[in-house]
Amino acid sequence: MDIINIKSEDWLKNAGICGLYNILCEAGDREKIQISYDEIIFPIELLENFSEKYFNYFIKTYQKTFSLYKIISTGKTLENWINNDFNDFNDKSLEILNSNIENFKKYMKSNSYKSAYKLIEGNFDPELEEKELKKIKLKKKENVEDRLEEIKHQVNLMKSIVDYFKSEEAIKYVGAKNSIYNIIRNAWDGVSFLNKQCKNPDMYSEYQEYFINPVIDYAKNYEEKKKTYKYQCISCSSKIKDLNSDVGFIREMGFDTGRKTSHVWDFNNYVGICPICKFIYSCVPAGINYVYNRGIFINYSMNMEDLFRINTSIRESILEEENSRISVFKSLQEAMNKKINDEVGYELSDIQVVRFYRDIDNDSIKYNFNIINKPVLNTINFCKNQLETIKKGSYIENDSYVYIYNEVIKKLLDNENQFLLIQKLLHYKLSMPDTTYYNAGVLASVLKLNVKYLQEVGYMEKSKSNSKDGKERDIIDEARKLGYHLQIAYNKMIAKDDNTENNNSKNNKKYNKKLNSIAYRMLNSLKTNNKHSFMDVLINSYMYVGKAIPKIFAENLDKDLEFKNIGYAFITGMIGYSKEDDEADSESLKKKN
């Protein structure tokens, strides 16, 4: 066969096909690929020098996350100092210089860099130059001018190192090393250039020999040869000669244990695959979209073109915003919104979200699988404004920032409601307000999204409005305002009781304390689904301020989920709601749009 065709299958195979597509597109071969509904077809000649295309894809796509790039990008700073003849070189500059020297040394001494040097021709010996690099520590009473000669020497040395790493060959080989350990090894390990016993130092020829040449051999006279082959590839069912090749090199086997629809699930390590499938699996790391230690792949098996399109748009946006911690899910949301707007009557239940995590501490990886069903997709699409507000909220947990947006989307993907999250957010707000960065507007948005989700999955009905316009009743806003009014009433009562209207700060503290303890008791009742104890607290509070208990609670007393959402919204208003919150939210929304 002169052409190779690969059929869409389970997510892992599809990620490999996506990877192959990305690699070939980057190499300018897009015109030569044919894509049908569930198949990709390409001439075998595209595999000549494929290893160059393979590594080139990773280097081009991920270079900004590589240590090589960190070295190269230092060049600008060095040049500035040299061009200004070190006139503005001060203590701060020395600090920058020293930290760069430290980084340079760390990278240049690493085994992966050292093995790349052997492949790069020329007289420059980076190992020797690295030893020359030395941080400059000023002694007491010394200043930068006293050590300027030394500083100049170090800067020039670094400049020559940067020039070395900027060369085509260094980018080719060090870039390939960075690709292997930062990206490729996320997906597979233990064979070819990732086999510790591998004798060939050149990853390019190694990849070509290990993965590509067998494909070319296999394809040659396949129709003739297959008559004598006894076995079958477990992935694509082609005939194979022996069972010497298996999928054991794929880390964690990429198993989605929850979805065993593919026959790939039945195989064990000793079951064979054909060279073409093995090659496709080697392209998996080019198909998954990675951001540092996380990754995402959307498996949309209905249509190849869509599979490529969705994943390309996700990759582009996560690489654009590499610093944004919410970018993976944000891009997912955008792709979903786009998708739902693009096609009417589109079958949504076939979108599988594969999330990847790498734990650097114990060198393990993990996949997480979700199916995006229609309720989730509708919720995401309907709650665009709420999600926009939620993006602004975060809190500190275990010394690191947690973004509420990420937590909300994760819960949605796991097909869970948001009650546990709301409970936690309100609890944190009461017990450690200093580490919470969200206002009542964010909380209300999570609640509104929660209501929408519960309606979409059919657990809650839409509340009818009392007014005649037939609009849906917004129980969240309603309850939140009631909570806020109770807060004001409390404030007045306490001021009156104490008769210390001139002393505002003292009042505030007092009313906060009292309202906080009420909020705690309400939260506990909601947590344990005890509507009656919630009502007890509520009735006592309203008796204290001498007001009637709002109807909304009695109206929903027999509806568990409605009551819970209303209860949380009420607490939100009681401890935080203010008009300013709302105005601030709409202001920043306006700016964004």
For Zn ion, the closer CB: 10 or 585: 10
How far apart are alpha carbons 425 and 446 in whole angstroms?
10
Residue 227: partners with Cβ closer than 8 Å, 6 or more residues away: none
CB of 281 to Zn ion, least distance (A): 10
CB of 6 to Zn ion, least distance (A): 9
For Zn ion, the closer CB: 243 or 457: 243
Question: In 292-424, where do the E strands start and end?
Answer: 294-300, 351-359, 364-372, 394-397, 400-403
For Zn ion, the closer CB: 225 or 338: 225
* Per-residue contact string for residues 491-530; x = within reach of Zn ion by CB under 5 A: ----------------------------------------
How many amino acids of this chain bind Zn ion (CB under 5 A)? 6
Segment near Zn ion (CB under 5 A); pick from 41-49, 251-259, 269-277, 305-313: 269-277
8 binds Zn ion (CB under 5 A): no
For Zn ion, the closer CB: 243 or 589: 243
For Zn ion, the closer CB: 99 or 237: 237
Segment near Zn ion (CB under 5 A); pick from 188-196, 275-283, 468-476, 577-585: 275-283
Q: How many CA atoms lie within 13 A of 569 on its CB side?
A: 25
274 binds Zn ion (CB under 5 A): yes
Among 40, 184, 212, 233, binds Zn ion (CB under 5 A): 233
How far apart are alpha carbons 8 and 16 in whole angstroms?
10
CB 539 within 8 A of CB 525: no
CB of 237 to Zn ion, least distance (A): 7
Among 61, 179, 208, 235, binds Zn ion (CB under 5 A): 235
Residue 220: partners with Cβ closer than 8 Å, 6 or more residues away: none
Q: Write the CA distances from 524 to 418, 419, 447, integer angstroms.
A: 16, 13, 18
For Zn ion, the closer CB: 247 or 409: 247
Tokens of 467: 């007014």
CB of 238 to Zn ion, least distance (A): 5
For Zn ion, the closer CB: 233 or 482: 233
For Zn ion, the closer CB: 238 or 578: 238
How far apart are alpha carbons 216 and 279 in whole angstroms?
11
CB of 215 to Zn ion, least distance (A): 10
CA angle 167, 288, 394 (to 5 degrees): 100
CB of 9 to Zn ion, least distance (A): 10
CB of 2 to Zn ion, least distance (A): 18
CB of 233 to Zn ion, least distance (A): 3
CB of 44 to Zn ion, least distance (A): 15
Rg (CA), the chain: 30
For Zn ion, the closer CB: 236 or 454: 236
Other C-beta atoms closer than 10 Å to the C-beta of 172 total: 18
245 binds Zn ion (CB under 5 A): no
Tokens of 331: 């891009």
For Zn ion, the closer CB: 233 or 486: 233
CB of 234 to Zn ion, least distance (A): 8
For Zn ion, the closer CB: 20 or 460: 20
C-alpha closest to that of 328 among 442, 413, 443: 413
Tokens of 486: 């109770």
CB of 235 to Zn ion, least distance (A): 5
Other C-beta atoms closer than 10 Å to the C-beta of 457 total: 16
Segment near Zn ion (CB under 5 A); pick from 192-200, 270-278, 320-328, 375-383: 270-278
Segment near Zn ion (CB under 5 A); pick from 251-259, 274-282, 340-348, 573-581: 274-282
Helix (H/G/I), strand (E/B), else coil: 156? helix
For Zn ion, the closer CB: 238 or 516: 238
| Residue 290: alpha-carbon gap to chain centroid | 8
236 binds Zn ion (CB under 5 A): yes
How far apart are alpha carbons 22 and 20 in whole angstroms?
5
For Zn ion, the closer CB: 78 or 234: 234
Segment near Zn ion (CB under 5 A); pick from 251-259, 272-280, 291-299, 512-520: 272-280
Segment near Zn ion (CB under 5 A); pick from 43-51, 213-221, 267-275, 482-490: 267-275
CA dihedral sign, ordered 319, 323, 328, 333 = negative
Residue 288: partners with Cβ closer than 8 Å, 6 or more residues away: 15, 19, 186, 187, 295, 296, 297, 354, 356
CB of 206 to Zn ion, least distance (A): 22
For Zn ion, the closer CB: 281 or 553: 281
CB 261 within 8 A of CB 11: no
Tokens of 216: 């070319």
User: Which amino acid is present at 471?
Assistant: K
Residue 395: partners with Cβ closer than 8 Å, 6 or more residues away: 401, 402, 404, 425, 428, 435, 436, 437, 438
User: Which amino acid is present at 37?
Assistant: Y
How far apart are alpha carbons 194 and 184 in whole angstroms?
9
CB of 299 to Zn ion, least distance (A): 19
Other C-beta atoms closer than 10 Å to the C-beta of 216 total: 17
172 phi, psi to nearest 5 deg? -60, -50
277 binds Zn ion (CB under 5 A): yes
CB of 59 to Zn ion, least distance (A): 28
Segment near Zn ion (CB under 5 A); pick from 137-145, 236-244, 257-265, 341-349: 236-244
Segment near Zn ion (CB under 5 A); pick from 229-237, 282-290, 489-497, 553-561: 229-237
Site residues (vs Zn ion, CB under 5 A): 233, 235-236, 238, 274, 277
